[in-house]
Amino acid sequence: MLPPRLRRRAREVEDRPDRAAAWAYTELARAVIDAVASYACAVKVQAAFFEALGPPGFEALARALRLARDHGLAAIADAKRGDIGPTSRAYAQGFFGGQEVDADVLPGLGADAVTVNPYFGTDGVEPFLEASDAGGGGVFVLVRTSNPSAAELQDLELAGGEGAPGPLYRRVAALVRRWAEGREGACGYSSVGAVAGATSPGALAQTRELLPRSILLVPGYGAQGASAGEVACAFDARGEGAVVSASRSITFADRSAETLEELAAAAARAAREMRDAVREAVARR
Amino acid sequence: MLPPRLRRRAREVEDRPDRAAAWAYTELARAVIDAVASYACAVKVQAAFFEALGPPGFEALARALRLARDHGLAAIADAKRGDIGPTSRAYAQGFFGGQEVDADVLPGLGADAVTVNPYFGTDGVEPFLEASDAGGGGVFVLVRTSNPSAAELQDLELAGGEGAPGPLYRRVAALVRRWAEGREGACGYSSVGAVAGATSPGALAQTRELLPRSILLVPGYGAQGASAGEVACAFDARGEGAVVSASRSITFADRSAETLEELAAAAARAAREMRDAVREAVARR
CA closest to B103 among chain A residues? A17
Alpha carbons within 13 angstroms on the beta-carbon side of residue A222 total: 21
pLDDT in 10s for each residue of chain A, 285 residues = 999 999 999 999 999 999 999 999 999 999 999 999 999 999 999 999 999 999 999 999 999 999 999 999 999 999 999 999 999 999 999 999 999 999 999 999 999 999 999 999 999 999 999 998 998 899 999 999 999 999 999 999 999 766 678 999 999 999 999 999 999 999 999 999 999 999 998 999 999 999 999 999 999 898 778 899 999 999 999 999 999 999 999 999 999 999 999 999 999 999 999 999 999 999 998
Amino acid in position A228:
A
Burial of B178 (0-12, 13-18, 19+ CB in 10 A): exposed
Separation between Cα atoms, residue B149 and residue B172, nearest integer Å: 17
CA closest to A109 among chain B residues? B54
For the question of whether the overall pTM of this predicted structure is more than 0.95, the answer is: yes
**Which of the following is catalytic: A69, A71, A80, A183?**
A80
- Answer whether A48 sits within 8 Å of B87, measured CB to CB: yes
The CA distances from residue B205 to B199, B202, B210, B220, in Å, are 11, 5, 9, 14
pLDDT in 10s for each residue of chain B, 285 residues = 999 999 999 999 999 999 999 999 999 999 999 999 999 999 999 999 999 999 999 999 999 999 999 999 999 999 999 999 999 999 999 999 999 999 999 999 999 999 999 999 999 999 999 998 998 899 999 999 999 999 999 999 999 766 678 999 999 999 999 999 999 999 999 999 999 999 898 999 999 999 999 999 999 898 778 899 999 999 999 999 999 999 999 999 999 999 999 999 999 999 999 999 999 999 998
B13 touches chain A (CB under 8 A): no
Helix (H, G, I), strand (E, B) or coil at A237: coil
- Helices and strands, counts by H and E, chain A: 12, 11
Give the residue from A7, A87, A115, A176 with the most B CB atoms within 10 Å of its CB, the best one to mutate.
A87
